[in-house]
Structure 1
Amino acid sequence: MIYDAFFGKPLISLITVGFAGIVVWHLLSRQRPTTRLVVQILFFGVMTLILVGSGIEPHRFQGYGSEDPQALLIIVAKTLWWIHLAWAVIGFIRLYLVLEGSPREARLLQDLVIGVVYIGMALSVLAFVFGVPIGTLVATSGVVAIILGLALQNTLADVFSGIALTLGRPYIIGDWILLSDGTEGRVVESNWRATHILTSANNIVVLPNSFLAKLGLTNVSRPDETHLLILTIRIAPTRMPASVRQVMATALASCNSIVREPPPVVALKGLDATALEVELQFRVTSPSQRVPARNEVLDLVYRHCKAAGLLLAIPPSATVLTADLPTEESAKPPSVTPLALIEAIPVFTTLTSDEKRRLAETTTVREFRKGDVIVREDEMLPSLMMVRAGIIAARNAGEERGRLAPGDFFGESGLLAGMQEVCTLEALTPVTAYEIDQEAFAPLLSERPALAEEIADHLASRAERFRNGAPLPPEHARNAHAILKTIRTIFKA
């Protein structure tokens, strides 16, 4: 029964199977290439069996007269067979590229191979279905190809340059590249004609592949995306170079925006009567982090220099008398007083000058040795600590979340709202801190009841901006009203 159905009228059966295969091909999802390939091979196998069983040879041209009633059926059947053969080969190509995990740039090579398959299928249909002499056709098309090549010279140069860039793989989608003409950005798309680069100014630069192939190219993302930055700092020669180098190394060690491995380098570049020139070399995780890291390093260098009593040197272009230059004996280093730190703390910005001065007078000095744990996670610190000198590491769940440097502060959540600390704080170097306890702060709240509301708003907003998006403990996930109630309870305001 099945044999008679397929081989009784082989041409009609083959055409039916061929069109059914086309419908199924389009219905199957492109996200399932293996299923599409298996189904395509099954349809192609059935069509081949029908042709072999009926004595039709699709790879040979069998002449037929124009009056032959089956001529049209033979043409359609053999054309469908060649189409399904091409689709089966294309299915193998696409499946191979998917299984090999090839990058998106491989689409150019894939399209090229698929184009060759389709051209081969078209020539086979012309030769074995319609009997067109391919040799004569190719000779004629050569003249046409020359004309088209001259007309499309620039476009073809882009296409072949794109193929060369794809095979050479100097970059892939997502890489950050720097061109010799100064263009810099991340590769977001690469097609037949051009490469699209997203610059740091959030603009898309479209470069023709032929132009890109001629430029010198630096791939910043290889072997990894860490990027080296170099900053030159000039310090007044009022301390021994070894001491200055140690202060600069401490400033880099307290930075949260740079890569710790490989460690940053401090190089002394030159020394004269006006300045000790220091070069800071450090890496960032990606080129997009260059500006934030540079800003933080400069800020920390200033803070550590102020804490260590170092002076910044005058610019090289400035005119100054030698007698006016600071020396180790005559230098007057800037002092970091408790009042200066209090004025830098956001939670105290609403206090008047007299209130800040009275608060500064109540501060005490605390000293911590390297390795001392100042406060542990989930413990409450009932005093405000302002870092005068040194580095403190903040760790949450055993993972380092950041570092505190001179000018930073901690403990305000315990002092003002009775909340536990989110991180364990450990001294990485000898640390000097100024401390303000609850007894010193209580008179301010009794004199200014509205101050408690301002502090509650500040602490609530700070809790929402908890570093790195880490989950907040229940005692920190409170609104300003709850924090205000706690503050008034603690100080009995």
Structure 2
Amino acid sequence: MTDLPDAVAAAAHDPLVITLLIFALGGLLTHLLFRKQPLGRAVARVIFLIALTIVLLRAGVVPYEARYLAPTSFQVAVHGTLKIAWWLLAAWFLVGVLRAFVVTEHRPREGKLVQDLLAGVIYLAAVFAIIAYVFDLPIQGLLATSGAIAIILGLALQSTLADVFSGIVLTFSRPYRPGDWISIDGSTDGRVIEMNWRATHVLTVNRDLAIVPNSAIARAKILNASSPSGTHGMTVTIQLDAKTPPGAAGEILERAMLNSRLILATPPSSIIVKSITASSTEFDITFFVEELAQASRAQNELFDLIFRHLAASGVELAATQSQPYSPLQTAASQRAANGPERALNLVEIFATLTAEERQSLAPKLKQRTYDRGETLVDPGMVLHSLFIIGAGVLSVTSVVSEGGIELMRLGPGDHFGEIGLLTGAAATAKISALVPTTVYELTKDDLAPVLEARPPVAQELCRALARRQAAGQLIPSPAIDKTISANRVASWFADRLHRLFDLTSSK
């Protein structure tokens, strides 16, 4: 106890004790003054490291030597604290230099991973240096002990470590990136929204979040639908009645694919005759869409278009074993064997007509045929009839100064000319044939008796036109776009029909 005053006096005159106090105060002030200025904190730390190095060396304290010249235990503790601070600041400085100069511009994610791994090694080396040069402990025994501990931890964390190392491998190999559409073993399909060291987060097509461990992905078969491009291909199978020659049936299927704007022209689609029997011909249809997200919608649209094109051509699907060939079905189809009747059967607005009414209306349709590339409607033309597509594919294009912008494609069962018929407005788009096409014209005089005799047809026509207008499937009409609200389009069509055809309102 008698040596305490002398120890305090000696410590008060030790420059390293004063340095420790100054550094503690300086660190506190730096934290308060540069809390939101990371650059200022970095400059202050560099200054502290340089000043601490000079002070330690002038006092004869070498940070990488495990010896102390201080006379008291308190001063030894102060010297050890300053040496620990020096090693930590030195490690921080090396990590900063590493992050500044070890940069991978073209692969930032991999560069960040390398920086983190090297930073971990630097801080671990600083910890071992502190143990060896500050606490003067043999690191050989510590390494042996830590090795045994590492083995125990490795066994306990085997699955987690497998995920981490698999994440490192996936980060460098990059089989996919955030935003890519992938399929993992055919069981998990969706878009990658996040990748980390442990797992990959996939947003499935059902809008569910699937978190897949990286170790499972490393062992799985990965299909990247977004690489090398976002184009996605798919194949559907169609079986047609064997009475239709495969060549003619293949041409009808090609028109159905051409009718869909979701199906890409490049890469080209293909139709392969897979098999042919006495009762059916089987086709494999391969086509491509811009991305996997459009696959289901494109497939549904293609099936609908195939049905319409087959029905318009009088071609039937193959009968299944559960629904064998029936002469009655063939007789029913023969009754609608001519083109006008088949076209009317596909038109939505005439769905409420009876078969006899459609048969009586069919002879009034005037047939027009157009070759590939021929123009049916030019901008500025006024159409006074309803035109129904019986076969083929039409392209509706908006003509602008930079060229044409395709708005939609029309196929069997679609119609145009209704806006000009109701409003007298000129067409604002160009309509041309992509393949040889048959169109049927139904004039106002021929349509009026149908609407007068069957008011539901007029109502359905108004509702169908309103739906098509809302879906952007009508040639744009300035009269509608500028003056009619979306929820009043059906009423607007009904008013026009009543005034044009002098119909009696019916409830």
1:270 aligns to what SS in structure 2? strand
- Answering whether residue 250 of structure 2 is matched by residue 245 of structure 1, we say yes
Note the alpha carbon deviations across 1:350-388, whole angstroms, 9 max, x for none.
778898777656432222222122223565433322110
* Change in 2 beyond 3 A, CA 1:390/1:155: same
2:223 corresponds to: 218
Query: Considering only CA atoms, is the larger Rg found in Structure 1 or Structure 2?
Result: 2
* Change in 2 beyond 3 A, CA 1:393/1:146: same
Which AA in structure 1 matches 2:435?
A: T
1:145 to 140, 147, 150: 150
Cα distance in 2 between the residues matched to 1:484 and 1:308? 32
Cα distance in 1 between the residues matched to 2:169 and 2:422? 65
CA contact (8 A) 2:389 2:440 kept: yes
1:413 corresponds to: 419
1:32 corresponds to: none
Most deviating of 16-25 and 119-128? 16-25
1:301 corresponds to: 306
Could you tell me how far 1:262 is from its partner in structure 2? Answer: 0.8
Note the alpha carbon deviations across 1:224-274, whole angstroms, 9 max, x for none.
232222222222333433222222222222222222101101122233322
1:376 corresponds to: 378
CA contact (8 A) 2:343 2:412 kept: no
CA contact (8 A) 1:108 1:192 kept: no
CA contact (8 A) 1:104 1:173 kept: no
Could you tell me how far 1:291 is from its partner in structure 2? Answer: 2.1
Note the alpha carbon deviations across 1:286-343, whole angstroms, 9 max, x for none.
233222222222222222222233232233687669x9999xxxx9595365465456
For this pair of structures, how many residues does the alignment match? 474
Cα distance in 2 between the residues matched to 1:458 and 1:247? 27
Note the alpha carbon deviations across 1:421-449, whole angstroms, 9 max, x for none.
45422111121112233444456677899
1:268 to 270, 273, 277: 273
1:252 aligns to what SS in structure 2? helix
Which AA in structure 2 matches 1:426?
A: S
Could you tell me how far 1:390 is from its partner in structure 2? Answer: 0.8
1:476 aligns to what SS in structure 2? helix
Cα distance in 2 between the residues matched to 1:413 and 1:115? 71
1:232 corresponds to: 237
2:13 corresponds to: none
CA contact (8 A) 1:466 1:472 kept: no
1:258 corresponds to: 263
Note the alpha carbon deviations across 1:430-482, whole angstroms, 9 max, x for none.
211122334444566778999878766654554333269x9996752432279
Note the alpha carbon deviations across 1:104-159, whole angstroms, 9 max, x for none.
57766554444334323333444444444433322322222222222222222222
* Change in 2 beyond 3 A, CA 1:62/1:472: farther
Cα distance in 2 between the residues matched to 1:490 and 1:86? 87
In structure 2, stretches of 5+ residues that fail to align are 1-15, 503-507
CA contact (8 A) 1:235 1:313 kept: yes
* Change in 2 beyond 3 A, CA 1:490/1:126: farther
1:4 corresponds to: none
CA contact (8 A) 2:425 2:477 kept: no
2:500 corresponds to: 491
* Change in 2 beyond 3 A, CA 1:414/1:80: farther
**TM norm structure 2:** 0.76
2:43 corresponds to: 42
> Over the residues paired in the alignment, what is the CA RMSD in angstroms?
4.3
1:429 to 435, 450, 461: 435
CA contact (8 A) 1:18 1:80 kept: no
Most deviating of 164-173 and 481-490? 481-490
Most deviating of 94-103 and 129-138? 94-103
Could you tell me how far 1:75 is from its partner in structure 2? Answer: 5.0
1:395 to 385, 394, 397: 397
* Change in 2 beyond 3 A, CA 1:405/1:46: same
- Answering whether residue 288 of structure 2 is matched by residue 286 of structure 1, we say no
